[in-house]
Amino acid sequence: MPESNEISLVIGLRETERDLAASLYWQAFSKKLSFLLGPRKKAETYISKVLNKDNVFAVRDTKNNIIGLAGFRDINGGVIGGTFGDLVDVYGFLGAIWRATFLSLLERKDNSEILHLDAVCVEQKSRGKGIGRKIIDFSGRFAKSKSIVAIELDVVSNNDSAIKFYKNLDFYIVSREKIGLMGLILGFKSIYRMRLDL
């Protein structure tokens, strides 16, 4: 299902693009994830290691460089997988214990009739050019081809620009999950689940 025009959207990444994808995810989500996955080098190493390259919508420019990504979750898992052993490999045993505990608190349940997007991100220099909208449009066509009725994604409560962006694309908030004391550490109080009906 490749796109035409100046960019193309495809499903999946090449094995050699793991590090680039990890860097792009970190660029987009480091403020939200720095406590759990930082510092940057370790975070990017971990993300690259556990990235499910088949569960990614990739945006490529005319030179075939990745300029945007959106992970998705399905019966094969999400874009970021990993085991406790993967955490140990990158952060050591003690670092893995507390990270695994916090990460498990952030896990969300999904509905198999809905395509759940993880980590929609566009590289800094390519923002404001409609690429995010094209990712959502592509995701919608993919979902419809699988007879999926809606797209959902999660947005942290203090990310006003993302909430506004998704509302402009006809997403609406379906739930709000407070994260309690963990919010003091992570810097946000709750997570909104937003939905786009197809």
| pLDDT, tens digit (0-9, with 9 covering 90-100), for 93-142 | 999 999 998 888 777 676 778 999 988 999 989 988 999 999 999 999 99
* Residue 37 resides in a domain: yes
* Residue 75 resides in a domain: yes
Q: Looking at residue 5, what is its pLDDT?
A: 57
The contacts of residue 128 (CB under 8 Å, 6+ apart) are: none
Q: Looking at residue 92, what is its pLDDT?
A: 97
- For strand 114-122 and strand 190-197, is the pairing parallel, antiparallel, or unpaired? unpaired
* Residue 122 resides in a domain: yes
Structure tokens at 121: 């991100």
What is the domain count for the chain? 1
* Residue 180 resides in a domain: no
Rounded Cα–Cα distance for residues 154 and 120 (Å): 10
Q: Looking at residue 29, what is its pLDDT?
A: 83
* Residue 164 resides in a domain: no
Would you give the DSSP letter of residue 17?
A: G
* Residue 31 resides in a domain: yes
Q: Looking at residue 116, what is its pLDDT?
A: 93
CA distances in angstroms from 83 to 1, 8, 28, 86, 190, listed in the order given: 31, 32, 23, 5, 25
Q: Which residues of the chain have pLDDT under 50?
A: 2-4
Q: Looking at residue 3, what is its pLDDT?
A: 46
The three-point CA angle 147-149-155 to 5° equals 130
Q: What is the pTM of this model?
A: 0.86
Q: What CATH number did the domain enclosing 12 receive? A: 3.40.630.30
* Residue 38 resides in a domain: yes
Range 104-110 contact pairs with CB under 8 angstroms and sequence separation of 24 or more:
105/179, 105/182, 106/179, 106/191, 108/154, 108/177, 108/191, 108/193, 110/73, 110/152
Q: Give the structural domain span for 54.
A: 8-151
* Residue 194 resides in a domain: no
